[in-house]
């Protein structure tokens, strides 16, 4: 089955939809505070992408672009995507939705970094992600995984 990934609007409806996800948390709450303090058009830049089944948001992720000057993972330093909060609702897991979201992120043809949740390492490995190969760079005590498009190599110093 082919799934269509959509950019999610920054609005109250999206925040309500996020409440059904297990990893609903601080990022969404900070968005809610921003929404309450500002009138935000539906055209505001959103880092969130999702897949709907009918009218129900069943899978989502956030993608943030990180400037090359902050790159500690790729050589030469590149702008890269940081993929967070990839989650598929329980009744929709194991149907290719997570893979569809990752393939969408890869379609930007930029390096990608993620910090996998517990018990998701096998999923990321199947998607072509690999651990950072040196132990001096860690993200807040986590072990980041990276994916690189052809022509980009991992930073190894």
Name the domain count of the chain: 1
User: What's residue 43's pLDDT?
Assistant: 46
Q: C-alpha dihedral over 144, 2, 95, 122, to 10 degrees?
A: -20
Instruction: Give the pLDDT band of residue 101 (cuts 50, 70, 90).
Output: very high
CATH number, residue 91:
3.40.630.30
Average pLDDT, the chain: 80
Given a cut of 90, whether residue 73 has pLDDT beyond it is: no
Neighbouring residues of 123: CB distance < 8 A, sequence distance ≥ 6: 98, 116
Domain that residue 140 falls in? 6-154
């Amino acid at each position: 089955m082919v799934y269509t990934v959509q950019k999610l609007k920054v609005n109250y409806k999206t925040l309500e939809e996020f409440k059904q996800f297990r990893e609903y948390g601080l990022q969404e709450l900070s968005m809610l505070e921003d929404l309450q303090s500002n009138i935000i058009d539906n055209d505001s830049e959103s880092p969130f992408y999702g897949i709907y089944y009918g009218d129900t948001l069943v899978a989502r992720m956030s993608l943030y672009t990180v400037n090359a000057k902050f790159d500690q993972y790729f050589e030469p330093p590149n702008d890269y995507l940081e993929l967070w909060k990839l989650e598929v609702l329980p009744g929709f897991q194991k149907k290719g939705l997570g893979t569809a979201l990752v393939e969408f992120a890869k379609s930007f043809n930029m390096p990608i970094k993620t910090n996998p949740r517990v018990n998701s390492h096998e999923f990321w490995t199947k998607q072509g992600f690999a651990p950072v190969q040196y132990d001096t760079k860690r993200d807040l005590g986590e072990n980041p995984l990276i994916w690189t498009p052809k022509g980009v190599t991992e930073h190894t110093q």
